[in-house]
C-alpha cells in the first residue's frame, strides 16, 4: 500500500533552518511528484512547492522563494524540504503529498505531517 | 490571505444537504477543470474527496459531489452524517505548475 512517512517534530530557534523528510513506499517513486503543503495553527493549507521524483525538477511558491529548498534521493525513495531563516510565522504542520507525474493535479496520498515549532 | 475564498463555517442537521463554495479567479478555478477537495479531521492529514472538479476517488461516498460555475467551485454533501463533521479545503491548479488552496471551511453537523 502507498505510504508517505515523515520525520518527527522539530523545535527551532528563529533564524535557524529545518529539514523534513518524506519517505515513500508502495509505488514507483520516480513516477510521481512530491508536493509540500503547510498548515499554521488553526489556519488553512498553504502550497509550498514540488519536486519531481524522477528528474528532480522543482517549483516553489513565490511566497517562500529563496527560503525553501526541495530535494529528493531516489535511492532512498525520500523527498526533503528544507526551510531556512525561520520565523515564528513558519510554525506549522508540514505535509508531503503525492501527485501523479502524468499530468494530474490532485494530491491522492499524504504524509502524516511534521510539526515544526519556531520559538526562542 | 488564501488565494481561494471559502466560508469559514457551515452547518447542517443529519440527513440534510450542505454546499461549500470556493471562489477563485479566471487564472485558477475559472481557467482549469482542476479543482480538488479535501476532508480533514482534527489532528489528521487531509483526505482527497473530489478531483478534477467532480470526480470521486474509489472508496469515497457518492454523497459527496463537486461542481463548478465560472470562478466558483462547490462541494455538496448530501445525507449529512455525524462522521462528515470536519474541515474541508478546496485546491486549484493555478497555472505555471503552481497550486493554490482556500482557507478551509469547518463543517458542523448539528
Does the distance separating the beta carbons of A95 and B99 come in below 8 Å? no
Look at residue A55 in the predicted model and tell me its pLDDT: 94
Q: How far apart are CA A2 and CA A76, in angstroms?
A: 15
Q: Nearest CA to A70 among A57, A84, A51, A55?
A: A51
Look at residue A3 in the predicted model and tell me its pLDDT: 98
Work out the end-to-end distance of chain B between its first and last CA atoms, rounded to an integer number of angstroms.
Answer: 29
**Closest-CA distance of chain A to residue B104, Å:** 5
Segment B95-107, tens digit of pLDDT: 999 999 999 999 9
Look at residue B76 in the predicted model and tell me its pLDDT: 98
Q: How far apart are CA B44 and CA A117, in angstroms?
A: 18
Look at residue A65 in the predicted model and tell me its pLDDT: 84
Q: How far apart are CA B48 and CA B38, in angstroms?
A: 5
B interface with A, Cβ–Cβ < 8 A, is 2, 6, 32, 34, 36, 38, 45-48, 51-52, 57, 89, 91, 93, 96-104
Three-state secondary structure string covering chain B: CCCEECCCEEEECCCCCEEEEEECCCCCCCCCCCEEEEEECCCCCCEEEEECCCECCCCCCCCEEEEEECCEEEEEECCCCHHHCEEEEEEEECCCCCEEEECCEEEEEC
Look at residue A103 in the predicted model and tell me its pLDDT: 75
Does the distance separating the beta carbons of A108 and B91 come in below 8 Å? no
- Distances from the Cα of B32 to the Cαs of A34, A56, B69, in angstroms? 21, 26, 11
Does the distance separating the beta carbons of B91 and A106 come in below 8 Å? yes
Question: Contact, B25 vs B2, CB < 8 A?
Answer: no
Low-confidence ranges of chain A (pLDDT < 50): none
Question: What cell was used for B87?
Answer: 474541515
**Closest-CA distance of chain A to residue B93, Å:** 7
Does the distance separating the beta carbons of B104 and A47 come in below 8 Å? no
Residue owning grid cell 508540514: A94
SS3 A43: coil
Residue A26 DSSP class: S
Look at residue B1 in the predicted model and tell me its pLDDT: 83
**Closest-CA distance of chain A to residue B60, Å:** 12
Segment B33-88, tens digit of pLDDT: 999 999 999 999 999 999 999 999 999 999 999 999 999 999 999 999 999 999 99
Amino acid at each position: 500500500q502507498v505510504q508517505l512517512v515523515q520525520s518527527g517534530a522539530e523545535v527551532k530557534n528563529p533564524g535557524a533552518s529545518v529539514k523534513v523528510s518524506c519517505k515513500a513506499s508502495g509505488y514507483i517513486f520516480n513516477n510521481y511528484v512530491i508536493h509540500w503543503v503547510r498548515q499554521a495553527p488553526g489556519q488553512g493549507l498553504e502550497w509550498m512547492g514540488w519536486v519531481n521524483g524522477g528528474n528532480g525538477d522543482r517549483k516553489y511558491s513565490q511566497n517562500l522563494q529563496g527560503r525553501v529548498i526541495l530535494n529528493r534521493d531516489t535511492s532512498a525513495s525520500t523527498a526533503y524540504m528544507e526551510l531556512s531563516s525561520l520565523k515564528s510565522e513558519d510554525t506549522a504542520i508540514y505535509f508531503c503529498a503525492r501527485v501523479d507525474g502524468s499530468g494530474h493535479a490532485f494530491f491522492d496520498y499524504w504524509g502524516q505531517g511534521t510539526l515544526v515549532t519556531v520559538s526562542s | 490571505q488564501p488565494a481561494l475564498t471559502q466560508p469559514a463555517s457551515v452547518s447542517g442537521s443529519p440527513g440534510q444537504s450542505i454546499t461549500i463554495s470556493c471562489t477563485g479567479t479566471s487564472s485558477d478555478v475559472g481557467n482549469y477543470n482542476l479543482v480538488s477537495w479535501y476532508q480533514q479531521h482534527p489532528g489528521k492529514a487531509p483526505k482527497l474527496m473530489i478531483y478534477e472538479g467532480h470526480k470521486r476517488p474509489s472508496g469515497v461516498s457518492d454523497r459527496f459531489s463537486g461542481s463548478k460555475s465560472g470562478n466558483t467551485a462547490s462541494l455538496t454533501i448530501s445525507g449529512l452524517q455525524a462522521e462528515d463533521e470536519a474541515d474541508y479545503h478546496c485546491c486549484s491548479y493555478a497555472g505555471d505548475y503552481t497550486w493554490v488552496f482556500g482557507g478551509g471551511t469547518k463543517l458542523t453537523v448539528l
